[in-house]
Amino acid sequence: MTSTRPGLSAAIVFAVSAAAGTVAAQTVTPLTLERAVEMALATSHRLAELDARREGAAAAVETRRLGDHPTIAALAGYTRTNHVDEFGITMPTGATRIIYPDVPDNARTRIDLQWPIYTFGRFDALERAARAEVRAAQGDIATARRDLALEVTRAFWAVVTARASVGVLVESLARMDASLVDVRNRLDVGLVPPSDVLSIEAQRARQQMLLIRARNTFEQTLTDLRYLTGQAPGAPIEILARLEEPRSPAPTTTGTLLADALTNRPERGAMTARIEGTEQRLQAALANRRPVIGLGAGVDYARPNTRIFPRAAEWNPSWDVSVNLTWTLWDGGKVKAETAEVTAAQRAARERLADFDARLAADITRSTLEVDSARAVVTATDEAVRAATEARRVVG
């Protein structure tokens, strides 16, 4: 609805002193609704937190993707052993050939390669679960952005409405002052009893109380708007908006709104992605019951090299390649417990999604009723304003 106060500016500057009795010379920030939403999205700590979580989920995808890649490690070690009696044999020439020498200082270096070449889809399922979590994190960011935009919109128009309320009450108080002066003048000439003056004073006191509350509400809404847009407390703001007559949108049924919400609400997409992630985690947990086939290889350079006979106190290289199958036949119920945990998480996610769908239908129905009621109130108020304007003209 349009403001009824003639001459009310579309932009009013509200400045708060930096200290008591001192007006701070600060730069006034002109603020439209679009600018307020833009500032809130740029300075929101909640969005920054969610974006950091999304980056962490993306890094987890890379970790899962590289889980079935080969790893190469460099190993080195030194062992000191006790002295032993050397063992040797006497050659036909009479010389003694030492077969097991006394080598108390043992050193070993190795380049080792391990490669799980087949895991029955375990790492693939974990990677898909991580990618589902990335999609869920992106849905959380989209949800937070929409919620923040809605919160800023509400705070912005709350400021505009509170400002208009203050203006209306200021005018009302001025009219009450004029009426009080008029009644007192009538009392002085004996046209009205003293009770009429007391009645007007009581009404003026009530208007004064309403004005104080309206100004307090205005300051509170302005504080909320400063917080949401990342501005310092007390920062001066120029509100570039005013109340206008609402436009009538195209009629939409509740069923259409619900279908659109189920399709486009990002938080529902995040829930669906997390359900998919639990399904992939369940597949990975079940794959732990199956064997793992891995490839191993390495190059040793040791003193003495135990693979070379006879032992000698000198550095010698050797290498090995192996294919290994590891199958955990009994793990004490670890896989069973992990499967139960993931199954419970999946059931919880599905129940949460079902609750969201049911609550969404109720919210849309309730919001539709509120919009219809608000439109009816606006229509009735417009009629009251027109009637009051005509009555004022006639009285004038």
More confident residue, 254 or 247: 254
More confidently predicted of 249 and 45: 45
Checking if the pLDDT of 336 tops 80, the result is yes
Tell me the per-residue pLDDT of 191-231, one tens digit each, with 9 for 90 and over.
Answer: 888 888 898 899 889 989 999 999 999 999 999 999 999 99
Give the pair of three-digit tokens for residue 104: 């108390």
Please identify which residue in the block is written with the tokens 């990335």.
Answer: 134
The widest CA-to-CA distance across the chain, in whole angstroms, is: 154
Q: Report the range of poorest mean pLDDT among 1-15, 93-107, 164-178.
A: 1-15
d(CA 297, CA 55): 35
113, 296 Cβ separation under 8 angstroms:
yes
Q: Are strands 71-80 and 105-118 parallel, antiparallel or unpaired?
A: antiparallel
> pLDDT (tens digit, 9 = 90+) per residue, 97-118?
888 888 999 999 999 999 999 9
Model pLDDT for residues 368-383, shown as the tens digit of each residue: 888 888 888 878 877 8
Whether this model's pTM surpasses 0.85: no
Q: Are 225 and 234 in contact (CB under 8 A)?
A: no
Q: Among 62-66, 152-156, 390-394, which stretch is predicted with the lowest mean pLDDT?
A: 390-394
Residue 18: pLDDT over 50: no
The overall average pLDDT reported for the chain is 86
Residue predicted with more confidence, 168 or 138: 138
In which band, very low, low, confident or very high, does the pLDDT at 251 lie, cut at 50, 70 and 90?
A: low
Average pLDDT over residues 5-9: 37
**What's the confidence (pLDDT) of residue 245?**
64
Confidence of residue 306 (pLDDT cuts 50, 70, 90): confident
- Helices marked H in the chain: 33-43, 45-65, 122-188, 194-228, 254-264, 266-287, 334-395
Q: How confident is the model at residue 26 (pLDDT cuts 50, 70, 90)?
A: low
Residue owning tokens 């619900």 = 258
The strand pairing partners of 238, in sequence order, are 13, 30
DSSP per-residue string spanning 107-154: EEEEEEEEEEEE-TTHHHHHHHHHHHHHHHHHHHHHHHHHHHHHHHHH
Give me the mean pLDDT over the 13-38 stretch.
63
Specify the higher pLDDT residue, 396 or 40. Answer: 40
